[in-house]
Chains A and B, each alone.
Chain A
Amino acid sequence: MYGFEAMTFNIHGGYLEAIVRGHRSGLLTAADYNNLCQCETLDDIKMHLSATEYGPYLQNEPSPLHTTTIVEKCTLKLVDEYKHMLCQATEPLSTFLEYITYGHMIDNVVLIVTGTLHERDVQELLEKCHPLGMFDSIATLAVAQNMRELYRLVLVDTPLAPYFSECITSEDLDDMNIEIMRNTLYKAYLEDFYRFCQKLGGATAEIMSDLLAFEADRRAVNITINSIGTELTREDRRKLYSSFGLLYPYGHEELAICEDIDQVRGVMEKYPPYQPIFSKLSYGESQMLDKAFYEEEVKRLCLSFEQQFHYGVFFAYMRLREQEIRNLMWISECVAQNQKSRVHDSVVFIF
């Protein structure tokens, strides 16, 4: 019953909520980002990060550093924290935490399948996979020729199995089919996660509904913009949108027929929560749209910490850490390419 979580939540979730709130206080601040933005080399970045929680993960890395190394080590920290929380969690929190990683699992599956299609070595592909999305039989994906085999040989025993019902065909895998598979899987995953959170009820359902609806709407906009000028038909585009969110169903109908960024803007400005995002962009521009969406997401994620006794804080923390890693990746790239004037194009401050 909503409002009575305070009575029972701490029995099973109190310790982990305290842990995650402690982790949250370790997120980089605006002062940290200002110091990092003034670095001249990647070694300077490593030196500044040594004073943060990333210190132990980067200290043994030899020079010269590479941007991918920094991202890899920072991701390892996130993975360690996640694994600690997962092994301490009981049901239903453990299922909730596993749901958070299914997106990475989908990305890894698509990476292996695409790389195999391009005749790349499986070991090389496995090294590029996100550690949060790994599962035991992932290497076996390389033997599948079509989606039916993919499902039958490998994915039937993974958490992604229920999401495959909508995209099983015997067609050979090619770039377009793989892209449609990726987006169909992600759509099914988001809808399943949404239903799970609704079943949990209470503050978790309320907060997670808002966050997942925003995710679904953002994906709809990105799919629309990315498919402009491609061979994806309007009908196929419409099928990739999730069946929930603020834009469902009328916004999706309008987005499906958009042919340029200005038409997308016209659709989105009708929805008050998204009107400020698109008002920041000039006509015909889509470069700053990602940053605007990330800023809105960070705002909503930070707000979830204002309430207690719900699982939304775990989801919010994981997403905030991922945003932090994206920030570090961008700062490192700008420093490595000697383009420090462009650093603030994509850095999103969390606090």
Chain B
Amino acid sequence: MLELEKKDKEGWISIIAYDRRNTSVEYIDNRRGMKFSMAEEKEAANTQVSELSTTDLKEKDENTLNFLDSVDNYLILIESLTSTLRQGWLELASARHSMGGSRVNTSLLTLKHHSAATKVEVNYDNGGSITKSPQLTLCKWASSDKKDSSFEDENIDNKESTKESNGSETTASPIKTENHLQKERGKVLSMFGALVSPKLRASQLSFETALDTLVEIANVRSSILETHHALLQHKVKPTKSTEE
């Protein structure tokens, strides 16, 4: 055991003993007023460093996986959107072929003021997180002209349905929703006439599906940006710690 006393330039550390056999060094840290052995500190430091690395790595891996999952979802959704739109356009052409060009053309689109049949809601509630992106939600067939009346109808229907048995109650609301959706779809298509070909209805459904996919794509994109930002932050952290 070799005993030394050494201070660094600032006079903060003193070496007390050096054991060659197990290469441990015991010293006093004057700055902290502590005495401990180098081996322990090293082990402690190593343990601390390795603990930090494991957590950091886990988080990094999670973010990387999330990023890759989001990108994969994005690519799948883009492909789905492309095929849905192609199908929609072909069905529209098929409807024109069936009904005639004078019944399906742009000059029949109404220029009268009317509220949007479908709206996008942006939810900025990010749970206190600065980095969390807004979420988009599609509200389909929510015409504000019909909103109050349909809400009233729903209230009346709810009151009536509480008197009915449970079985009928559970089946009543999906049927009503389906009827409402059918009516709203028919209302929009009525600009081409009240009696339109099933091909035009199919085209409408395809474009409706495409709209759903577009909103999903927007949400996935914001998720990609979020995870990408998190990954970049991880990249910055290690460079700061190496500088220290």
Q: Which residues of A contact B (CB under 8 A)?
A: 68, 71, 107-108, 111, 114-115, 117-120, 124-125, 127-130, 175-176, 178-180, 182-183, 222-223, 225-227, 229-232, 286-287, 290, 326, 329-330, 333-334, 337, 339, 342, 345-346
Contact = CB atoms under 8 A, between A and B. Distances in A.
Closest 10 CB pairs of A and B: A179-B194, A118-B110, A226-B195, A333-B93, A175-B190, A119-B111, A176-B194, A290-B98, A107-B102, A128-B107
A191 B199 CA distance: 28
Contact of A178 (B89, B97, B193, B197): B193
Contacts of B238: none
B111 A118 contact: yes
Interface string B185-223: 010001101111111001000000000000000000000
Contacts of A117: 110
Nearest to B197: A226
B103 interface: yes
Contact of B93 (A114, A124, A226, A337): A337
Interface in B96-149: 96-98, 100-103, 105, 107-112
A346 B97 contact: yes
Contact of B97 (A127, A329, A337): A329
A115 B186 contact: no
B145 to A, nearest CB: 15
A283 to B, nearest CB: 15
Contacts of A182: 193
B97 A326 contact: yes
B194 A230 contact: yes
A129 B102 CA distance: 7
29 contacts: A114-B108, A114-B193, A117-B110, A118-B108, A118-B111, A118-B191, A120-B107, A127-B107, A129-B102, A175-B193, A176-B190, A176-B194, A178-B194, A179-B193, A226-B195, A231-B186, A232-B194, A287-B94, A290-B97, A329-B97, A329-B101, A330-B93, A333-B93, A333-B96, A333-B97, A337-B86, A337-B90, A346-B94, A346-B97
Contacts of B50: none
Interface in B26-49: none
A176 B193 CA distance: 7
A226 B198 contact: yes
A108 B102 contact: yes
- Residue from the set A176, A227, A230, A346 with the largest chain B CB neighbour count within 10 Å: A230
B177 interface: no
Nearest to A67: B93
A337 B103 CA distance: 21
B176 to A, nearest CB: 15
Contacts of A175: 190-191, 193-194
Contacts of A339: 86, 90
A219 to B, nearest CB: 11
Interface string B48-70: 00000000000000000000000
B205 to A, nearest CB: 13
A129 B191 CA distance: 17
Nearest to B195: A226
A120 B111 CA distance: 7
A118 B112 contact: yes
A124 B90 CA distance: 25
A331 to B, nearest CB: 10
Contacts of B202: 287
B108 A287 contact: no
B186 A229 contact: yes
B195 A223 contact: yes
Given A114-B193, A178-B193, 11 more contacts: A117-B110, A118-B191, A120-B111, A175-B191, A175-B193, A222-B197, A229-B182, A230-B186, A333-B90, A333-B93, A339-B90
A119 B94 contact: no
A182 B192 CA distance: 13
Contacts of A111: 102-103, 107-108
A290 B99 CA distance: 10
B90 A71 contact: no
A201 B101 CA distance: 35
A211 B11 CA distance: 113
A120 to B, nearest CB: 6
A226 B198 CA distance: 7
B195 A230 contact: yes
A178 B93 CA distance: 23
A225 B97 contact: no
A342 B229 CA distance: 44
Contacts of B195: 179, 183, 223, 226-227, 230, 232
A287 B199 contact: yes
Contacts of A337: 86, 89-90, 93
A124 B106 CA distance: 10
Contacts of A128: 101-102, 105, 107
Contacts of A286: 198
